[in-house]
Amino acid sequence: MLKNIRIKALQDNYIWILQDRHKKCIIIDPGDAKKVINIIIKKKLVPKIILITHYHKDHIQGIKKLLIQYSNKKIYGPQFINKKYFFVTPCFSFTKLYLLKHIFIVLHTPGHTNHDISYFISPFLFCGDILFSGGCGKVLTGKYKDMFNSISLINFLPNNTKICSGHEYTLKNLLFSKKY
């Protein structure tokens, strides 16, 4: 099984690093390169892959620096034409990615934007800004119907699934629920 490391970054973001026993690693939504590089150095990791859930700045702005520091990394992300400064291999729903000898299933989970994707590798789901502890993500450029369908899709995953979100919103979400 891959070891899952959670990094707190920016104001309330989470960056996730999956590490195998040979110290190779996958970085998910690196919004802050410095935080990631510190962990890589501390744990002597070898970054191999970057996964992107959606193209909001706070999830991708560390990529440029990471590519300068560690070349030859492959990047996977949603199919979306954007002015990006890096090449992304587009992922479609239910694509299986074979990464570090593990199978990742890509789920199309739009709603926060029109192009969000999530990555499932049992027991972890990396779902960016779709689902948080205590609430779902904000519908920004996505559609409410899509958000509902995405949450329904996530609901089909096994009960032991660990939701690895893109932000820490637990307290805010619970206070909101209490208020309304």
Q: Which residues bind Zn ion (CB under 5 A)?
A: 56, 129
CB of 62 to Zn ion, least distance (A): 14
Burial 21-52 (b: 16+ CB within 10 A, else e): eeebbbbbbbbbbebbbebbeeeebebbbbbb
Which residue's beta carbon is nearest to the bound Zn ion?
A: 56
CB of 45 to Zn ion, least distance (A): 26
When the beta carbons of 56 and 115 are compared against Zn ion, the nearer one is 56
Beta bridge partner(s), residue 46: 24
When the beta carbons of 41 and 81 are compared against Zn ion, the nearer one is 81
When the beta carbons of 20 and 129 are compared against Zn ion, the nearer one is 129
CB of 175 to Zn ion, least distance (A): 21
CB of 112 to Zn ion, least distance (A): 6
When the beta carbons of 20 and 31 are compared against Zn ion, the nearer one is 31
Which token pair is 35?
Answer: 């935080």
